[in-house]
């Protein structure tokens, strides 16, 4: 039998777990405080930074001026905000009720007696994990000194400045780079510690008993060593005996060596990590893109595609393994990553499962294209993949690997060449229309339900006065056959080529029209508007 307090707690945990409001609130707090993708977080960060700077300014002001009622109230408010933030961060750190429930369910499942105390201990342990993380400690230290009885801790208020770190990405990166050189920095610190200790001991032994010397305690000796080894050398304490001077000389030489060594460690760390940091920045930027395209391969074809993507103002990221191509793309201010797109984690990082809608596999190498296609398809079964095949045999393989569309540059040219030798003008015109030259385009207009197209006969539309040529109509799925001269099958639906004037449109039909882009856009607008306002428009 489970004791009564435990049943209450478990019941309460279940209620929390089932409550959508609780989850929503937690989610919102997460968005505000931690979620790197959230839109709200940058505002929150800036506001917190401003608060911190304001309180620090206040502290500086209070050093020489007595606090007024206003400043005290302000400080109290800020403190409460900090406390709320600290608790909120602790709250969203993990799901405590889940820990209890997991323990309870495990006990139920195994037929064991549920014991509340170990579960609670695990809850506290997890929260302690948060409380002992460096950033949480800084947060706490920033709050503590605000309590009036702890005025001694005023000095810790400076930790509020450290708190700024929390809100700035670049400083975190800086710290991470240095952290990777931990080994070298530790070695250096141990070396400095050893030299300081040795020299301090030596100078203390040599000079502590000398009348004229300023070194009276071991602390003086350590102070002098540190001031000397870092080449500051105030000169308030100077060695008086020849032995002391010898120690000073060794110390100065060691100091120069240490400074140059530490400089080179830091510079090296950044030199090594520069590319990585830049890439990280790139990935951070790709996270902001919505509905973006992943362009694998920035060769000749990629260049043409990208040019037109820019014209359409689409968001995209380029991946190419050749540094030259990447440099060219970056020169144009494009988002480009120099890496092999066949790597699954790279595709993951540029958002194949997040914000990308299309993958273009258009490198010059069929094998690479096939591999990228397969990888991308496995990672996301719904994403659209357009691939390039240089050999016609590859096209079938690409489709098998999961490409939605395959484009064959050489095949296209062969086709065009065959058309061209018989009908040069027509071929030019068609390719011109397809590529949107001189503003001419072929495009689709949907027959929206209840719009002027729904149920209309073609003659009523006055397409020629709208400066549009009707190419054909693609029927709505599942409609019955309508009288027309030429009907084709396009993807299981009927396509009526150049239907007669008596042809009646149904909702869901798609008109394929030819005309100036602006004429098409205008007509489409009218169709949309008429659907909204009834057929009056």
Partner 1 sequence: MKPRRIAIFGYNKLGQEVARHLCRTPCELLIVDNDAEALARAGERGFDTVRCDYTDDSELARVGIGRDIDLIFCLLGDEAQNVFLVISVRALAPDMVIVAATDSIGSEQKLRAAGADKVIDPFAIAGARISDLLERPMVMDILEQTVFGQADLEMAEVPVVREGGLVGQRLSEVSVRGACNLVVVGLVRSGADREVRFATEDWHYRLSAGDMLLLVGPAADLERFRAEAAALDASRGR
Contact with partner 1 (CB under 8 A): which of 231, 378, 469, 502? 469
Whether residue 280 contacts residue 177, with contact meaning beta carbons closer than 8 Å, is answered with no
Helices marked H in 159-232? 159-163, 169-180, 182-207, 218-229
Q: Shortest Cβ distance from residue 446 to partner 1 (Å)?
A: 10
Q: Shortest Cβ distance from residue 451 to partner 1 (Å)?
A: 18
Q: Is 423 in the site for partner 1 (CB under 8 A)?
A: yes
Q: Shortest Cβ distance from residue 463 to partner 1 (Å)?
A: 9
| Alpha carbons 105 and 99: distance in angstroms, whole number | 10
Q: Is 79 in the site for partner 1 (CB under 8 A)?
A: no
Contact with partner 1 (CB under 8 A): which of 107, 258, 430, 507? 430
Q: Is 233 in the site for partner 1 (CB under 8 A)?
A: no
Q: Is 491 in the site for partner 1 (CB under 8 A)?
A: yes
The residues, any chain, with a CB within 8 Å of residue 110's CB and separated by 6 or more, are: none
| Angle, helix 69-93 to helix 41-62, in steps of 10 degrees | 140
Between 156 and 316, CB nearer to partner 1:
316
| Alpha carbons 301 and 406: distance in angstroms, whole number | 13
Token duo for residue 119? 């579960």
Q: Shortest Cβ distance from residue 506 to partner 1 (Å)?
A: 17
Q: How many CB atoms lie within 10 A of CB 406?
A: 21
Q: Is 402 in the site for partner 1 (CB under 8 A)?
A: no
| Alpha carbons 2 and 482: distance in angstroms, whole number | 74
The residues, any chain, with a CB within 8 Å of residue 347's CB and separated by 6 or more, are: 294, 341, 359, 372, 375, 376, 379
Contact with partner 1 (CB under 8 A): which of 1, 117, 425, 536? 425
Contact with partner 1 (CB under 8 A): which of 420, 448, 476, 521? 420
Q: Work out the burial of residue 471: count CB atoms within 10 Å of its CB; fewer than 13 is exposed, 13-18 middle, 19 or more buried.
A: middle
Q: Is 421 in the site for partner 1 (CB under 8 A)?
A: yes
Would you give the binding string for partner 1 spanning residues 280-299, x where CB under 8 A is met? -------------x-----x
Q: Shortest Cβ distance from residue 440 to partner 1 (Å)?
A: 6
- How many residues make contact with partner 1 (CB under 8 A)? 79
Q: Is 477 in the site for partner 1 (CB under 8 A)?
A: no
Contact with partner 1 (CB under 8 A): which of 103, 142, 346, 358? 358
Token duo for residue 124? 């506290």
Contact with partner 1 (CB under 8 A): which of 41, 516, 522, 524? 516
Contact with partner 1 (CB under 8 A): which of 210, 227, 512, 521? 512
Q: Is 433 in the site for partner 1 (CB under 8 A)?
A: yes
| Alpha carbons 522 and 528: distance in angstroms, whole number | 10
């Amino acid at each position: 039998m489970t004791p009564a307090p435990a049943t209450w707690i478990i019941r309460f945990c279940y209620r929390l777990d089932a409550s959508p409001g609780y989850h929503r609130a937690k989610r919102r707090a997460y968005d505000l405080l931690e979620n790197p993708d959230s839109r709200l977080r940058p505002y929150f960060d800036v506001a917190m930074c401003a608060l911190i700077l304001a309180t620090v300014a206040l502290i500086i002001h209070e050093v020489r001026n007595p606090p007024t009622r206003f400043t005290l109230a302000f400080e109290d408010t800020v403190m409460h905000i900090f406390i709320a933030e600290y608790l909120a961060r602790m709250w969203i750190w993990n799901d405590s009720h889940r820990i209890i429930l997991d323990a309870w369910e495990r006990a139920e499942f195994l037929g064991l007696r549920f014991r509340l105390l170990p579960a609670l201990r695990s809850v506290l342990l997890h929260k302690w994990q948060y409380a002992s993380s460096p950033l949480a400690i800084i947060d706490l230290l920033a709050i503590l000194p605000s309590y009036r009885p702890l005025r001694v801790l005023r000095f810790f208020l400076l930790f509020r400045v450290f708190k700024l770190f929390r809100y700035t990405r670049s400083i975190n990166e800086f710290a991470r780079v240095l952290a990777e050189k931990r080994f070298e920095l530790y070695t250096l610190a141990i070396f400095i510690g050893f030299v300081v200790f040795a020299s301090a001991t030596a100078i203390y032994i040599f000079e502590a008993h000398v009348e004229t010397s300023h070194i009276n305690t071991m602390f003086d000796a350590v102070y002098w060593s540190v001031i000397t080894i870092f080449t500051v050398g105030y000169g308030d304490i100077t060695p008086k005996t020849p032995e002391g001077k010898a120690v000073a000389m060794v110390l100065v030489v060691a100091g120069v060596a240490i400074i140059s060594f530490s400089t080179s460690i830091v510079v090296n760390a950044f030199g090594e990590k520069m590319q990585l940091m830049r890439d990280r920045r790139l990935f951070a930027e790709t996270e902001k893109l919505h509905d973006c395209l992943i362009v694998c391969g920035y060769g000749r074809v990629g260049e043409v595609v990208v040019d037109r993507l820019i014209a359409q103002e689409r968001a995209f990221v380029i991946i190419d393994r050749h540094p030259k191509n990447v440099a060219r793309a970056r020169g144009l201010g494009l988002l480009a990553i120099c890496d092999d797109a066949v790597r699954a984690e790279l595709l993951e990082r540029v958002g194949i499962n997040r914000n990308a809608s299309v993958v273009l596999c258009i490198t010059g190498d069929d094998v690479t294209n096939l591999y990228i296609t397969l990888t991308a398809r496995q990672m996301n079964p719904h994403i659209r993949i357009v691939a390039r095949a240089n050999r016609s045999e590859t096209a079938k393989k690409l489709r098998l690997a999961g490409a939605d569309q395959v484009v064959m540059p050489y095949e296209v040219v062969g086709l065009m060449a065959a058309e061209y030798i018989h009908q040069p003008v027509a071929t030019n015109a068609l390719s011109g229309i397809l590529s949107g030259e001189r503003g001419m385009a072929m495009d689709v207009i949907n027959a929206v339900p209840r719009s002027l197209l729904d149920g209309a006969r073609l003659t009523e539309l006055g397409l020629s006065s709208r400066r549009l040529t009707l190419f054909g109509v693609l029927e709505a799925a599942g409609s019955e056959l309508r009288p027309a001269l030429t009907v084709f099958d396009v993807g299981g639906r009927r396509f009526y080529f150049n239907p007669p004037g008596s042809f009646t449109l149904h909702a869901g039909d798609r008109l394929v029209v030819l005309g100036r882009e602006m004429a098409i856009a205008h007509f489409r607008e009218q169709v949309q508007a008429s659907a909204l306002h009834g057929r009056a428009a």
